[in-house]
Structure 1
């Protein structure tokens, strides 16, 4: 579709899962696409690695079917209580981040999407085109994560006011003991346990600054006992601060997608589902007024923003101790929230 005036139709900055999903969306829509990413595939990242059913459907629509461990639902636990919600429709999927990234990269390669090993340090645009990393394109999709360079260069950042939380993650070679994502609630942090393969689980810890993985894990005695003697698979990885805000998601021919467009917290675990929905919306509205994407972005993130913000507020207040007891007493409410976020 490109002409001599452009190097490509769509320049995607950031070749992580959301960036590759956006590139695949654009290619399937008939656009020429270039992805700029300096890191080699696959890229690992500290995350929970549980794909909600909506994320699994989005991947299948793109022709991506990564190997993983079926997830029947979500379970909340504290030292004395537990409540489980089983997804009402199809299952979710626990997928190691590197496995997911490799599957998306393979699909992008099969579609002939060009990848350039480069970093974006400047961004220039006029009424007709946007240029970054030496590539002149009709549109640019900024999919470069929590600490987005595109967001900063496009002057779309906003002050992040709220609790500053961080995440760490490590894998352990042990047979999964449940077919759900377990969320263990402690006094100051949460532990997410996600089966990602037949003999592998990922443990992600979310908490305030300086949340040390080893000492925080020890604060969950039942979980620590499950993992006693299990061999770690890879190093501890960290991410944060998680809270990121934007003033808008568009400027001229630039669109922000995924974590680059703003992020509340990993607490509810549906970040990739939301990111894939944003990627689809961004591509579908490329030729429209930028406000069309702003509205689509708001619609695709509304439940995530409001429900997650409310849960984070409770989790960082004296009400924290009541979250699991409330979910246990009113399982229908817990299930309704999970379903809203899962689909």
Structure 2
């Protein structure tokens, strides 16, 4: 019997497995997809997250960015990072780096689906593997979370994301966030000749039709060739009743998700994955819920508060003007998140 079975080899699952292996635990990862896994995401990794991955021995390549710029039709405000730069990294590049580190550590990645889960007081079995614990890192719409009855009630506005890359030299060393009535468009430099554009909205439509709501960005991208297919993700909001069920612990997007509005999904996943490993090393899975809430509360609160304002017709148009009028407050919030 191994110590830990990890379901999912995305950033949350791979980081959990790497940290567990470095802690001396025996680990197996189960992942149904082969090759570098792509996903519709903003691809900006905060400085704290890149530092943590470096400590895990994950070698990242990408393009540095030094802050966040909010823009609407008439306002613009910048907040530069105090702790150090973030890194724009193609999701496939990040995935390759994580899988390379898993291979270096000798962590097996078994291709297949988890399927039914059975538990005893001392073990959990899934995908033909018996372990002391199972870390469920199987994504936003986690089948494991559903199987264990941990899904919370869904209500409120449904937001989704679309992402595409464009072959163009980045025009700034910041991540730009364009605001409009439709939603938000994030531009992340990921290479010297490539930017990723992610659009978050509750409205239906194609990537191109959504882009019409951001004329400033359209002008920036004029003449640039699309460098990837459009990928989508959503609904983004995922409510979860609990992070544990017996010897199964949820991590990453599977553990619950507010929105991509603040772009902190990977950073939170890494922080909570470290807590998960600490809890199973201590053989105290019951401590994980409290630990998860402790290390994620600030990001969840700030994201939920910003989303609440975004969903109020009277407040939404005032978000960027307020940030421009109070640049010190805006800079403080950005640096708390980064």
Give the TM bin, normalised by the shorter chain.
over 0.9
4+ residue runs over 4 A deviation: none
Question: Aligned pair 1:119/2:113, yes or no?
Answer: yes
- CA distance in 1 between counterparts of 2:306 and 2:187 reads 19
Show the 5 A alignment for 1:170-209: 170-209=164-203
Following superposition, the deviation at residue 141 of structure 1 comes to: 0.1
Q: For residue 326 of structure 2, what is the aligned residue in structure 1?
A: 330
Q: For residue 268 of structure 2, what is the aligned residue in structure 1?
A: 274
- CA distance in 1 between counterparts of 2:218 and 2:211 reads 6
- Give the alignment's Cα RMSD to 1 decimal: 0.9
Show the 5 A alignment for 1:1-343: 6=1, 8-286=2-280, 287-318=282-313, 319-342=315-338
Given that residues 23 and 35 in structure 1 are in contact (C-alpha distance below 8 angstroms), is that contact kept between their aligned partners in structure 2? Answer: yes
- CA distance in 2 between counterparts of 1:133 and 1:58 reads 30
Unaligned 5+ segments in structure 2 are none
User: 333-342 or 104-113, which moves further after superposition?
Assistant: 333-342
Given that residues 11 and 139 in structure 1 are in contact (C-alpha distance below 8 angstroms), is that contact kept between their aligned partners in structure 2? Answer: yes
- CA distance in 1 between counterparts of 2:96 and 2:211 reads 29
Given that residues 166 and 211 in structure 1 are in contact (C-alpha distance below 8 angstroms), is that contact kept between their aligned partners in structure 2? Answer: no
Q: For residue 3 of structure 1, what is the aligned residue in structure 2?
A: none
Given that residues 193 and 203 in structure 1 are in contact (C-alpha distance below 8 angstroms), is that contact kept between their aligned partners in structure 2? Answer: yes
Given that residues 189 and 208 in structure 1 are in contact (C-alpha distance below 8 angstroms), is that contact kept between their aligned partners in structure 2? Answer: yes
Once the two structures are superposed, residues 137-187 of structure 1 have per-residue CA deviations (whole angstroms, 9 ceiling, x without a partner) of: 100000011010111122211112332100000000000001111000011
Following superposition, the deviation at residue 209 of structure 1 comes to: 4.1
- CA distance in 2 between counterparts of 1:288 and 1:26 reads 13
- CA distance in 2 between counterparts of 1:111 and 1:209 reads 44
- CA distance in 1 between counterparts of 2:182 and 2:215 reads 14
Given that residues 182 and 213 in structure 2 are in contact (C-alpha distance below 8 angstroms), is that contact kept between their aligned partners in structure 1? Answer: no
| SS, match of residue 106 in structure 1 | helix
User: Normalization by structure 2: what TM-score?
Assistant: 0.98
User: Normalization by structure 1: what TM-score?
Assistant: 0.96
Given that residues 41 and 105 in structure 1 are in contact (C-alpha distance below 8 angstroms), is that contact kept between their aligned partners in structure 2? Answer: no
Given that residues 182 and 203 in structure 2 are in contact (C-alpha distance below 8 angstroms), is that contact kept between their aligned partners in structure 1? Answer: no
- CA distance in 2 between counterparts of 1:87 and 1:280 reads 24
Unaligned 5+ segments in structure 1 are 1-5
Given that residues 243 and 263 in structure 1 are in contact (C-alpha distance below 8 angstroms), is that contact kept between their aligned partners in structure 2? Answer: yes
